[in-house]
Amino acid sequence: MNIISIDLPWNPDKKGHRALAVADLDGNVKIAQAGDDNELLELIRGNTEPESLVLLDVPIDGCGNLDSKHFRSVDKALARQGIPILPTSKAKDRGKVLKERIKNINQGKRVTVQEIYPYAIYKFLAYLKEWGLLQRLGVGKFDTLLDDGFRIYRPPKYKRERKRGERRDNMEYLYSLLTDSSLGLRFLTPLPYPNDLSNPDKLSDEYDACLGAIVGMYSASNSRYACVAGDSKSGDMLLLADRWLVERLGREVPVGKLREGV
C-alpha cells in the first residue's frame, strides 16, 4: 500500500491548484501536480496500490445535512480547540463526488478515501516543534503533548499572509518543519525551497499535500497519534492528536481509528 495525499480546490471547475504527495511506508515521497480533476484522477489511478490510503483536503461526509448551517459537528469541535476551519457548506458535494470517482477507478483494490485538514496537522506539528517535542511522536508511547496554550497558538501563516517577505519567511518555517528528520519524510526529488516565490500558491499546495502525507504515514503505521474525529454520517477527518486533544474532541464527537477500506 501507499499514501496519496491531495490538496485541491473546492470548486471542481477551477483549473490548476491540485497537488499530490505520494508516500510509501518508508517515508519516501514524490510530488506531482494536476491541472484539472480528470488529470488528477489519472495520477491517482497510476499511483494507487491495493489497500492504498487516499487523503482529500475537502469535506466528504455530512455536507448534505447542513441545511442552513455552515459547519458540521466535527468542524465545531475543532474550532473550539483553536483550529479554525472554513464553512463546510461551501464544499457542497465536492468531496463526496470525488470519493465516488476514486472508488470507481480503483475497484477491487480496497482503497480507503479519507478527509484531512492540512492546517490542523500543521498547527499540531508546529506546536510540538515550538516546545521541542516532535521527536516524541516516534517513541511509541501515547503521551499528553499539548496543553491549554494550543488553543491560542497561531503558527506562522504561509497561505494568507499578504506581505511577501513575511510569507516567504513563514513558508521557510514550514519547509523546515516538513524536512525535520523527526517526521521521517525522504523526498525522492528535493522539496522546493521558497526562495523566489514566483508561484507561492503552487508551492503552498505542495506543502499542504506533504502535511497530509505525514498523517497518512502515521495512520498506516498504526500510530496512536493518528485518529479519526467525527463519524461517517455527520462528517469526520483524519487528524494528528495527542491525549489532550483526543480527550477534548471526544467530549463532542467520536474519536477512533481509521475505518476500513472501501
Give the pLDDT band (50/70/90) at residue 75: very high
**Is 83's pLDDT higher than 90?**
yes
Q: Report the share of the chain in percent with pLDDT over 90.
A: 88
The mean per-residue pLDDT over the stretch 38-45 comes to 98
The pLDDT of residue 162 is above 70: yes
In this predicted structure, what is the pLDDT of residue 261? 54
Strands 18-23 and 3-7: antiparallel
The answer to whether residues 47 and 22 touch, using CB atoms and an 8 Å cutoff, is: yes
pLDDT of residue 163: 87
Domain ranges of the chain: 3-256
Whole-model pTM?
0.96
Q: Is the pLDDT of residue 262 over 70?
A: no
| Best CA proximity match to 21, nearest among 178, 126, 135 | 178
Average pLDDT of the segment spanning 149-173:
93
